[in-house]
Amino acid sequence: MERTEEKPNGSTHTISLLVENKPGVLHRIAGLFSRRGYNIASLTVGPTERPEYSRMTIVVRLSSKPVEQVVRQVQKLVPVVEVRELSAHDLIERELMLVKINTPERNHAELRALAETYEATIVDVSPDALVVEASGNAGKLDALEDRLRTFGIQEICRSGRIALERGFKTLAPPNLK
C-alpha cells in the first residue's frame, strides 16, 4: 500500500512496546500505524530477557493526533502486553549507523580524526572506500553524517532508535514481574 501524503511534519515521540513473540505481530502493529495515519520515523524490534516477548521501539511523528491516542490504539492489540511513551528527558536512546565513504586514501587520516571525535570506528578499509561505524543518539549521528557528507557518502544504514527509561522502572506490567 502506498499512501500519498504531504511532507511529514509534527513532533516525534518514542514509544516502547513489549509484545508477544509470535508470528504476525509486526504486521499487526505496522498495519495499525499505517491505517490510522501515524507516521513511523523508525521501528526496531528485538528479543528481551524473556524469550516469549519481544521489545519494539517505535519513533512516531504526529502532526495532529495526540500521542495518548496512539498508545491506546496500540494497547488494544491483543499481542501487545504493554506500551508506553518514554519521556524525552528520562530516556537513554541509542542508534547504530554504518556509513560507506568513497574517498581517496589521502583523506583517510582526516577521516580517522573525525571518527575519533565522534567515538566512531573505522571497521573496513579498501583502497577507495572505508566504512565508519558509530552509535549514539540521533542528534550525534545526524551531526556525524553531516560532517561525513563532504567526503562523499556512498551508502548509509541506520538501525533506528532503541531506548530504555532511566532508573528502576520497567515496561513489564505487574503480572509479569
Interface residue list for another protein (CB under 8 A): 19-20, 23-24, 27-28, 31-32, 35, 66, 68-69, 72-73, 75-82, 173, 175-176
Residue 31 CB, shortest distance to another protein, in Å, is 6
Please, which residue, 67 or 131, has the CB nearer to another protein? 67
Quick check: helix, strand or coil at residue 91?
A: strand
Q: Find the shortest distance in angstroms from Cβ 18 to another protein.
A: 8
Min dist. Cβ of residue 78 to another protein (A): 4
CA distances from 30 to 1, 34, 56, 122 (A): 12, 6, 11, 34
Nearer to another protein, 20 or 124 (CB): 20
Cβ distance to another protein smaller for residue 46 or 66: 66
Residues 6 or more apart whose Cβ sits within 8 Å of residue 108 = 125, 130
**Nearest residue (CB) to another protein, 52 versus 119:** 52
Instruction: State in angstroms the smallest separation of the CB of 80 from another protein.
Output: 5
Please give the C-alpha separations between residue 34 and each of 3, 70, 78, 159, in angstroms, as whole numbers.
Answer: 9, 12, 18, 20
Helix locations, 76-137, DSSP H: 108-117
Q: Supply the minimum distance, in Å, between the C-beta of residue 40 and another protein.
A: 16
| Closer residue to another protein in complex, CB, 71/122 | 71
Angle at the Cα of 87 from the Cα atoms of 30 and 15, rounded to 5 degrees: 10
- CB-CB contact of 19 with 29 (8 Å): yes
